[in-house]
Structure 1
Amino acid sequence: MTNPLSRRRTSRRTFLTVAGAGAAAAAVGGSGLLAGCDSSGGNKGPGTTSKDDINKIIPNYIQNTSVKADIPSVTGAAGAVSDPVFLSYPASPVQTVPSTPGSGGSYTTMTPLWGAIPPASGNAYYDAVNQALGTTLKIQAADGNNYGDTLPPLFAADKLPDWIQIPGWNTTNLNFGSAVAKFVDLTPYLSGDKISAYPNLANIPSGAWSAGVWNGKLYGLPVYPSNATFAGAVFFRRDIFDKQGINPDSIKTAEDLKALGAQLTSKTAGQYAFGDVFGDVGNYAAQLFGFHMKWDQDATGKIVHSYETEGIIAALEWHASLAKAGYIHPADIARTDQNAKQRFWSGKTVIAADGTGAWNGQDAKSGTAANPGYVRQAFKLLSASAGQTPSIELQPGASMFAYLNAKLTEAQVKELLAVANYLAAPYGSKEWLVVNFGAEGQTYTMKDGNPVLSESGSKLVATTFQFLVTAPAVTTVQEGFTQVAKDYAAWQADTVKYARTPIFFGMNITEPAQYSSIGQAVQDTISDVKVGRKPISAFTDAVAAWRKNGGDELRKFYDDIRSKYVTGASSAPTPSS
């Protein structure tokens, strides 16, 4: 995978695209990551903390108002807030850290990196950031695709670095509810109003800290935090719609979408209406048909899995009907290659679902190279049928966290938190430029109001310091495509109005190990049913087997979690279909 630095530095939504489908699916999965202890501190799992206690533990939010966005955030439902938009970097960047934060210490770090790993020695970018920090962070970047395999040996040998980033999807094989004791309890330093000592950390949305809480204590520093993270969107080629006289605002339901199949499919021209609009874990279909992503509480108060909802059955039948009608590109049915984006750029598919990070200036640049008229846009949130209010499941505010080694002294912890405060400086600040680009004239220059990597900078600058802690997400202009940023902002501002959260939102819950693979047969069956290779009865049979092989026992497990950690849950059910 190529280095996606230029997009990933400003928005977590981009990370979910560039890290790959497997990582993204895990990141957006919601609950089911890690496991349970009671809020009084008595270990019974361990891991889980009640929602009430999480709210007492996480830092208070103190917004940084020194940087003004060109398009401000919009507040929606369920705590969702759209990202602010900057059409160019502020001409007079503010200084948010008045003095050098470090005190001369030297520390080892470890982070994943999806892309080419730059040289660690003689790296002008690393040197510039460390000079500004007044502390030496020895950067050790590891291949993100194999990162999960490198972690267990470090834990087993107790050879963890001073500061390490651990994605949520890599914690399941670490028994992290217990292993987290190897890291610093940050509660005494950052909980509640204590965060005010670190203004840039306080500017991180409160909800982004939740999944960094374990066993009633705060351990994690959020990486790529956001107040409005969604699993993806259903995209279309606006230029092709315009040529065919299709008004995208008239498409409001799944049936409206299906009706476009014949009009947009021309097998002689090699054009198909659809790519995959279901998703590997049903994340796109869940938006269309209103079912939740994993475990949730239905309207009757029963804990149910997404497999058991009417919505997923309707979604499978709908998607299979697209395939049987010949409206889905054969490559998306066969899954024989990974060129879905290229098919969309070239117009071989006109409608395709993807992570929101696919919608950016880099995409516009690639698309226009393949087709000069290329324009990607996303449908406003759709519903299954007319008269239904759309809804979309809000994803956790952060799915990756960084941790400080418990072997550090209190003085060292305070030094690194001061450094973290610098690294978390908001977009529009002097510090943000240093952290993300290094020194002007050395690894970047300003062009058309925005920082651009120099030739040497493109080889030396990589997403490393940002994986230790990150400023809140913003939307920016890339490659000069201002309209792309505006279009995404409008979509997100509309979408946050329909956000909802599942019952276990933001809670670290580890499912018992014996159930770790019982869902694989269902997922394999979904892959066949959604493209019509197997009938819907194959899915219902697979779900029945899943229930017998542990699904019903897992329901009891989640029932127990609900009774212990979710106050008043049964009185406020969320929709399940």
Structure 2
Amino acid sequence: MPPEASPSLPHGLSRRGLLSAAAVAVGATVASPLLSACSGKKSGGPGTTSKSDVDRALPAYLANNSVNADVPSVTGVNGAISDPCFLSYPTSPVTTVSGLVGSGGSYTTMTPLWGAIPASSGNAYYATVNKAIGATLKLQPSDGNTYGDALPPVFAANKLPDWIMIPGWLNVQLNLGEAMTTQFADLTPYLAGDKAKQYPNLANVPPAAWAAGVWDGKLYGIPSYPSAAVFNGAYFYRKDLLDSAGVSVTGFKSADDLAGLGKELTNAKGGVWAFDDLFGQSAAYVSQLFQFPNHWGIDGSGKLIYKYETEGIVEALNWYVKLVKAGYVHPDAIANNNQNAKQRFWSGKVLIQVDGTGAWDGLDAQSGVAANPGYVRQALPLLSPDGAKPPTIELGNGAAMFSYLNKKLSAAQIKECLAIANYLAAPYGSAEWLKVNFGDEGVDYTMKDGNPVLNAQGNKEVATTFQFLACPPAATVPKNGFTQVAKDYAAWQGDAVKHAVKPLFFDMNIAEPSQYSAINKPVDDTIDDVRFGRKPISAFTDAVDTWRKQGGDALRTFYDGIRSKYGTGQ
């Protein structure tokens, strides 16, 4: 997975660097079937579900309001709600789970981990959480950077663990639509409707987060890091360095406002450039700025149109080419070297970059990471192409990752795992959340300025593991004392939800025909060549024409069938 693409995951997801490697979640999660679905029949293939069937499979929502946020959620538009912001942990955390949780069972798990993998032997953190849940979860995290390579052999050998987390961006690669009924347990009988109320912490997860865990009308997935405000990312700038240069972004509204900083901030002889890659892989970030869809959209005549076919992407290419030709973009970005993009920003070699919102957690301002002790990351306000149109930001699925239980488990084992998941999903501010995320006070963490902070042992033992199996709705919290960062992010997200737009086929699992899975790559490669000035804009339009002939038009017919039969989103 490309390290640049961390956009769609919730803020502050991991203390161990997960967000540096996550990928973009598009509006419709797709999984490649074993059959061709482009025949003109109005069938979505494996995975596709009507809204009414999704609603029947979803757990009934039961909000947990036991802890009041310091900065309450903001209700925006199109179902977007910002995450609550907590500036300090309650001195007397509430208890949300009473009595026995597990029944002494033992379960193998498989989850990714972006960062150092802790030793499992003698790990006090693992031991204390397993003791709390009354069962043994055998945690064997796998390198997140190669997780996509590790999973296929496990599927092929039919050696799935009891409990596994699968990021949505691997659905196609794993042919997940076909795997659901053969490999994973149907959770609908245990969680649909009011049945979820026996697991109140799971019922506290918003319905939009569960929706993409529904396949063929049945619920299979347990959401990981759910949120009602998942966004593709932000345009970040080094506020400390812009302030030093006397440059203000107050009143910025348009793409040209942003471009105007190029000349003002670039000092190539001094090793400083205004911009890093502002486009993103497959136009993931610039689509927000120029207001074209990340996947499919509808044109003025009501016709389905893919992002390659929009006027917006052509405008974005022409805009970006000017920045490159003017010398305002860092040479490593032009060379498509994104491995060091974060470091370029931290060190002040570039002053404006795009990244996922999870990068905005304050941890990059720690000593030894950023070169400038006064380092401050801020996000630009949402912009539009010309500043006249109101800005928009595309809403991502309520969850981009799900965990699944093995179909071989008995009903009693499934219930035990769901009881464990209910414990792991305890909300921020609870005693259970503190245990799951930090272990025992004095062993793996201490309290500092009202918040838990990992100590030396905790930094070796505690990693994002249990949370990939189940966790509560996202919350914005300070990391290592960076309270202002939490406030700033909460304010940005609170504004963003007011401009949220749902993409077409939002929160739907669609089994896209596998024979067309590779047709986008030549276009994406051409986009890179055009935006970096290696080819003319005509090369892009030619590539799109080829894309249509090689399957783009067939996919349009396929999605028209889904649109006709199942609608365009949840």
Fold match (TM-score > 0.5): yes
Q: Relative to structure 1, is the Cα distance of residues 223 and 98 closer, same or farther in structure 2, using a 3 angstrom cutoff?
A: same
Name the counterpart of 1:93. 93
SS in 1 for 2:402: strand
What amino acid sits opposite 1:34 in the alignment?
A
Distance 2:340 2:560 in 1: 42
2:292 maps to 291
Give the Cα separation in 1 of the matches to 2:499 and 2:448: 38
SS of the equivalent of 2:173 reads: coil
CA distance in 2, matches of 1:35, 1:545: 22
Structure 2 residue matching 1:98: 3-state secondary structure = coil
Distance 2:394 2:402 in 1: 21
| Equivalence for 1:340 | 341
2:144 equivalent to 1:144 = yes
In 2, the alpha carbon distance for the partners of 1:356 and 1:275 equals: 16
CA distance in 2, matches of 1:21, 1:448: 27
What's the counterpart of residue 34 of structure 1? 31
Q: CA deviation at 1:387?
A: 1.4
Q: 2:408 and 2:118 mapped to 1: Cα distance? A: 29
Partner in structure 2 of residue 4 of structure 1: none
State the Cα distance separating 1:152 from its structure 2 match: 2.7
Q: Which residue of structure 1 lines up, in the alignment, with residue 23 of structure 2?
A: 24
For the 8 Å contact 2:10–2:357, the answer to whether it is kept is no
Counterparts in 2 of 1:388 and 1:123: CA distance versus 1, 3 Å: same
Residue of structure 1 equivalent to 2:277: 276
Number of the residue aligned with 1:109: 109
Letter in 1 for 2:358: G
Structure 2 CA distance, aligned partners of 1:13 and 1:52? 34
Using a 3 Å threshold, how does the CA distance of structure 1 residues 151 and 244 change in structure 2: closer, same or farther?
closer
Confirm or deny that 1:205 pairs with 2:206: yes
Q: Deviations over 1:105-125 (max 9, x none)?
A: 111111111122222222211
8 Å CA contact 2:72, 2:85 repeated in 1: yes
Does 2:170 correspond to 1:170?
A: yes
**Paired position in structure 1 for 2:457:** 456
Contact preservation (8 Å) 2:21, 2:114 = no
1:476-487 counterparts in 2 under 5 A?
Answer: 476-487=477-488
CA distance in 2, matches of 1:32, 1:198: 26
Is this contact kept in 2: 1:211–1:396, CA < 8 A? yes
**Following the alignment from structure 1 to structure 2, what is the Cα–Cα distance between the partners of residues 283 and 44?**
25
Q: Is the contact between residue 16 and residue 464 of structure 2 (CA under 8 Å) also seen in structure 1?
A: no
2:501 match: 500
The one-character-per-residue Cα deviations of 1:146-190 (angstroms, maximum 9, x if unpaired) are 222232333333322111111112222332222111211111111
Q: Hey, what's the Cα distance between the residues in 1 that align with 2:340 and 2:481? A: 25
Q: Once structures 1 and 2 are overlaid, which stretch shifts more, 73-82 or 12-21?
A: 12-21
Q: TM (normalized to structure 2)?
A: 0.93
Q: Distance in 2 between matches of 1:21 and 1:95?
A: 33
C-alpha deviation, 1:21, in angstroms: 7.0
Counterpart of 1:475 in structure 2 is: 476
- Who is 1:133 aligned against? 133
Q: Tell me what 2:558 maps to.
A: 557
Q: Summarize deviations over 1:53-103 as a string: whole Å, max 9, x none.
A: 212321122111001111111011111111111111111111000123111
Q: Distance in 1 between matches of 2:16 and 2:325?
A: 29
| Distance 1:14-1:465 versus aligned 2 partners, 3 A rule | closer
Distance in 2 between residues matched to 1:118 and 1:22, nearest whole Å:
18
Write the distance in 1 (CA, Å) between the matches of 2:189 and 2:43: 20
- CA distance in 2 between partners of 1:332 and 1:359 (Å): 21
What is the aligned partner in structure 2 of residue 535 from structure 1? Answer: 536
Aligned positions, number: 558
Query: Which residue identity is paired with 1:24?
Result: A
Corresponding residue of 1:383: 384
1:275 Cα offset (Å): 1.1
Q: Does 1:227 align with 2:228?
A: yes
Moved more, 174-183 or 216-225: 174-183
Structure 1 gaps of 5+ residues are: 2-6, 573-577
Q: Any conservation in 2 of the 1:211–1:506 contact (CA below 8 Å)?
A: yes
Report the Cα distance in structure 2 between the residues aligned to 1:424 and 1:20, rounded to whole angstroms: 20
Look up the SS of the partner of 2:174 in the other structure: coil
Q: What CA RMSD, in Å, does the superposition of the two structures yield over aligned residues?
A: 2.4
* Correspondence list, 1:292-331, <5 A: 292-331=293-332
| 1:417 aligned residue | 418
- Whether the aligned pair in 2 keeps the contact of 1:345 and 1:370 (CA below 8 Å) is yes
8 Å CA contact retained: 2:11, 2:360: no
Whether the 8 Å contact between 1:13 and 1:355 is mirrored in structure 2 is: no
Q: Distance in 2 between matches of 1:305 and 1:328?
A: 28
Identify the residue that residue 575 of structure 1 maps to in structure 2: none
Equivalent position of 1:216 in the other structure: 217
After TM superposition, the structure 1 = structure 2 runs for residues 513-528 of structure 1, keeping only pairs within 5 Å, are 513-528=514-529
More deviation, 214-223/450-459:
450-459
1:52 equivalent to 2:52? Answer yes
The separation in 1 between residues aligned to 2:144 and 2:321, in whole angstroms, is 34
The 1:489–1:406 alpha-carbon spacing in structure 2 relative to 1, beyond 3 Å, is same
The CA deviation at 1:545 is: 0.9
Work out the CA distance in 2 between the residues paired with 1:326 and 1:407.
Answer: 58
CA distance in 2, matches of 1:301, 1:183: 38
1:194 corresponding residue in structure 2: 195
Q: For residue 15 of structure 1, report the CA deviation from its aligned partner.
A: 6.0
* SS in structure 2 of the partner of residue 222 of structure 1: strand
Q: 1:228 to 1:265 in 2, by over 3 A?
A: same
Which residue identity lines up with residue 561 of structure 2 in the other structure? Answer: D
**What is aligned with 2:73?**
73
Distance, in Å, in 1 between the alignment partners of 2:29 and 2:134 is: 40
Pairing 1:154–2:154 present: yes
What letter matches 1:377 in structure 2? Q
Q: Would you say the 8 A contact 1:361–1:478 is kept in 2?
A: yes
SS of equivalent to 2:318: helix
Identity of aligned residues (%): 61
Aligned in 2, Cα 1:123/1:243: closer, same or farther, shift over 3 Å?
closer
Q: Which amino acid aligns with 2:152?
A: P
Report the 3-state secondary structure (helix = DSSP H, G, I; strand = E; otherwise coil) of the residue aligned with 1:370.
Answer: coil
* Other-structure match for 1:355: 356
Q: Deviations over 1:421-455 (max 9, x none)?
A: 00000111100111111122222222221112222
SS at match of 2:404: strand
Please report how far the alpha carbon of residue 331 of structure 1 lies from its aligned counterpart in structure 2 after TM superposition: 1.5
Q: How far apart are 1:12 and its partner, in Å?
A: 5.4
